[in-house]
């Protein structure tokens, strides 16, 4: 599955909470995406969680989640970050 496949999927692909959260984020449903990310304590979900708080503009909270994920704080375009996360997680 590619990031474009994930965006186009008619429903979450059943590959875990982090991928489900990205799927909801691609549909601009922040609440559902956040709930999915919170359902998993792992680093991949924390990375998506960080991205989601960046989307909402809560950079302090995003920074906390980037640290939990073991990732540097992102600063580029949000769409590019979504794609980078999707590429990394879909390869895992």
pLDDT tens-place string over residues 55-84: 999 999 999 999 999 999 999 999 999 999
Is pLDDT above 80 for 39? Answer: yes
What percent of the chain has a predicted confidence (pLDDT) above 70? 99
* 7 part of a folded domain: no
Q: Which two three-digit tokens encode residue 8? A: 């186009």
The answer for 48, left when phi > 0, alpha when psi is -120 to 50, beta otherwise, is alpha
* 51 part of a folded domain: yes
* 32 part of a folded domain: yes
Helix, strand, coil % in the chain, rounded to nearest 5: 70, 0, 30
* 20 part of a folded domain: yes
Q: Which domain holds residue 83?
A: 14-91
User: Can you tell me the mean pLDDT for 24-46?
Assistant: 97
């Amino acid at each position: 599955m590619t990031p474009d496949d994930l965006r186009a999927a008619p429903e979450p692909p059943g590959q875990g909470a982090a991928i489900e959260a990205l799927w909801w984020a691609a549909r601009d449903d922040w609440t559902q995406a956040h709930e999915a990310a919170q359902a998993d304590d792992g680093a991949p979900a924390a990375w998506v969680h960080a991205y989601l708080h960046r989307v909402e503009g809560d950079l302090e909270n995003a920074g906390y989640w980037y640290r939990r994920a073991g990732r540097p704080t992102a600063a580029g375009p949000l769409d590019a970050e979504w794609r980078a996360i999707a590429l990394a997680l879909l390869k895992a």
